[in-house]
Amino acid sequence: MKLFIFFLLILFDYFTKKLIFNLIDLNTFVTILPFMDITHLHNYGITFGLFSGIFPPWFIAFISAILIIIIVFWMFRISNPLEKWGFLFIITGAVSNLGDRIINDYVLDFIYMHYNNFYWPAFNFADIYITIGVLIIIYVNFMIFRKKND
């Protein structure tokens, strides 16, 4: 079941990126809602474009691959089933973005949230998977901490 979800989510991320690549010109913004645009941006760095232009794409891909391997081994050491799901979401998002980076030397980001002069850097579904995974792990560990202190 987990392997099926893993591949399904990667395919969904891939097809949404491909759709954006084919339908929206690079650096173009299309307003969907007053607080959300769909765009076509190439992220050559890591999260939020950090280190863009500082490290070559192959180096970022190499470090990403090592981190994915570490997280996979860490996931197998965990006994909590919900926490395993959290790690699976993180791994899925990381593998999907790594695939982009290996194929294109960049990650395609296309969801752009903003409000007035405040904005959140563009992201994609793989980034959402990673965020969901982190939130699940935080929740599980908060509940464990709370249970120990009750």
Write down the catalytic residue from 13, 37, 100, 109. Answer: 109
Single pTM value for the model: 0.93
> Is residue 115 included in any domain, yes or no?
no
> Is residue 51 included in any domain, yes or no?
no
The pLDDT value recorded for residue 47 is 78
> Is residue 36 included in any domain, yes or no?
no
The pLDDT value recorded for residue 101 is 95
* 10-residue averages of pLDDT along the chain (150 residues): 95 98 98 97 85 88 96 94 96 97 96 94 96 97 87
Write down the catalytic residue from 13, 37, 100, 127. Answer: 127
Q: Catalytic site residue 127?
A: yes
The pLDDT value recorded for residue 148 is 85
In degrees and rounded to multiples of 5, residue 61 shows phi and psi of -65, -40
The number of distinct structural domains making up the chain is: 1
Q: Catalytic site residue 13?
A: no
The pLDDT value recorded for residue 113 is 97
Query: Which residue, among 127, 109, 98, has the nearest Cα to 27 in the 3D structure?
Result: 109
d(CA 38, CA 109): 9
> Is residue 40 included in any domain, yes or no?
no
